[in-house]
Amino acid sequence: MPALMPPLLQLLRPHQWLKNGFVFVGLLFGHAWTDPAKLGHALAAFAAFCLLASAVYVMNDLVDREQDRLHPKKKNRPLAAGSVSVAAAVALAVTCLAAGSAIAWLWAGSAPWIFFAYVALNVGYSFGLKHVVILDVFIIASGFMLRILAGTLGLGIAPSQWLLLCGLMLTLFLGFAKRRSELNALLADSAGHRRVLEHYTAPMLDQFIGIAAAGTVISYALYTVSAETVALHGTRGLIATVPFVLYGMLRYLWRLHARGGGGDPAQELLTDPHLLAATVGWLLLVLVLLGGAIIPKL
């Protein structure tokens, strides 16, 4: 997080808004990117999630500010460092919550319940569920899955079972990698910062990460060659995007174990040129293949 960013803006964590790009997955794989109405709803959903997520981040920082002061990096967050008052943080969170809720209700598609479920889930996480081993990571993953649902069900696009499976495995991978990164950073003092880390060990998390990583790559690879996918998209070429996914996963694991990264997926993406190139390369190739520009439709 840039040190020169104003404290109130830091509190919103704008770099984390990249995660809300999951709402556009339905447009991409549902061939709905040329539909102005659905595109408008997706953009509104993106904006609503940005505001609601920022409200959640502020709430988390309010709840965790004492613990954050024990963390080597989080101690520099505005509330932990004392550069933003509690009253100002509460006002900011309420403003973001109200604005995000209004956008979700009025313009973000036909399923506003998804956004309110996201807020409720995160409130439960902040006030106790984050201390429940394994369930804590499933709740993190659920936040991503709700973004996918907002970009599919909320826009009148039937979510593919493959899409949901790949999304679940990927977000579990990111969640367990986050816990592994926290364990790496805090070492023996980890439990003093986040109680749930008392119940995790490095070998255990490495097994969880390995299962989720393998599940992500395998489920995505099977998706690209399934008869349902070929019939829907009219191309067998999506298999060519698998190397980008595999490279990105392996690069993320390398950063986790060799560079002490993995704690913040958005930050990793923005600061690592290899991850960025793999993501952009995957997206461009998917756009080309689904648009039929290189491999003709069957």
First and final C-alpha spacing in the chain: 47
Q: Which residue has the higher pLDDT, 109 or 252?
A: 252
Number of alpha carbons in the 13 Å side-chain half-sphere of residue 122: 22
Task: Give residue 193's pLDDT.
Answer: 61
Which range scores top for mean pLDDT: 6-15, 71-80, 87-96? 87-96
What number of CA atoms fall less than 13 Å from residue 33's CA on the CB side? 10
Query: pTM of the full predicted structure?
Result: 0.87
Helix 202-225 vs helix 242-258: angle between axes, to the nearest 10 degrees? Answer: 170
Which residues have a Cβ under 8 Å from the Cβ of 207 and sit 6 or more positions away? none
Return d(Cα 277, Cα 260) in angstroms, integer: 20
Q: What is the mean pLDDT of residues 82-108?
A: 92
Q: Is the pLDDT of residue 296 over 50?
A: no
**Structure confidence at residue 282 (pLDDT):** 95
The mean pLDDT of the chain is 88
Are 131 and 197 contacting, i.e. CB atoms less than 8 angstroms apart? no
Runs of H (alpha helix) within the chain: 7-12, 25-29, 36-68, 78-81, 86-106, 113-126, 135-150, 161-186, 190-193, 202-225, 227-233, 242-258, 265-271, 273-291
Q: What is the pLDDT, as a whole number, of residue 188?
A: 47
CB atoms within 10 A of CB 229: 19
Q: Mean pLDDT across the stretch 111-134? A: 92
**pLDDT, position 189:** 53
Asked whether residue 144 carries a pLDDT value surpassing 50, the answer given is yes
Residue 92 has pLDDT above 70, yes or no: yes
Q: Give the pLDDT confidence score for residue 150 in this predicted structure.
A: 94
> Could you tell me which residue, 145 or 261, shows the higher pLDDT?
145
Report the C-alpha gap between 96 and 48 in whole angstroms: 9
What are the pLDDT digits (tens) for 12-42?
999 889 999 999 998 988 888 888 999 999 9
* Residues 129-137, mean pLDDT to the nearest whole number: 92
The residue that leads in pLDDT, 63 or 209, is 209
Asked if the model's pLDDT at residue 207 lies above 50, the reply is: yes
The answer, yes or no, to whether residue 71 has pLDDT greater than 80, is: no
Q: Which residue has the tokens 């520099």?
A: 76
- pLDDT score of 142 more than 70: yes
pLDDT in tens, 209-262: 999 999 999 999 999 999 988 988 888 999 999 999 999 999 999 999 887 777
Residues 261/18/25/99 CA torsion (nearest 10 deg):
140
Stretch 275-281: mean pLDDT, rounded? 95
At 3, the pLDDT band (50, 70, 90 cuts) reads low
Does residue 8 register a pLDDT over 80? Answer: yes
Residue range 98-108: mean pLDDT, rounded: 94
